[in-house]
Amino acid sequence: MLQVRIDVYLKLMGIFNTRSVAGKACKAGYISIGGLAVKSSYSVQNGDLLEIVKPDGSRLSVEVLEIPSGKQVSRKDRQAYCRIIGMEG
C-alpha cells in the first residue's frame, strides 16, 4: 500500500501551494481528520475525510480517494485522487 504524508498530499492536490505551508497548517491545528488535529507526518489513507481551514479562513472538506504514486499530479488528474465534499467561505 502506498503511503504519503498529509503535507505532501495537500501540496500534490493543489490545496496548498507548498509543502511548507501545508506543514504549518498542520502544526497550527488547521488540518483534522475525524475532529482530531493531525501532524504533518500523518500518513493519508484511502477514505480519510480531511477538514481543512485555509489561511484565508475558508473551510474545505476533502475525501481521499486514492494515493498518488508519483511526485506530481496534473490539475486534470486531481479529481481521481480527491473529492471536495464541502466548501465554506
pLDDT at 71: 85
* Structural domains in the chain, sorted by start: 4-88 (3.10.290.10)
pLDDT at 54: 83
pLDDT at 49: 97
Strands (E), the chain: 4-5, 31-33, 36-37, 43-44, 49-53, 59-64, 82-88
pLDDT at 70: 81
Q: 9 phi and psi, to 5 degrees?
A: -60, -45
Tens-digit pLDDT profile for the chain (89 aa)?
A: 788 999 999 999 999 999 999 999 999 999 999 899 999 999 999 999 999 998 788 999 999 999 998 888 999 999 999 999 999 97
**Does the reported pTM lie above 0.85?**
yes
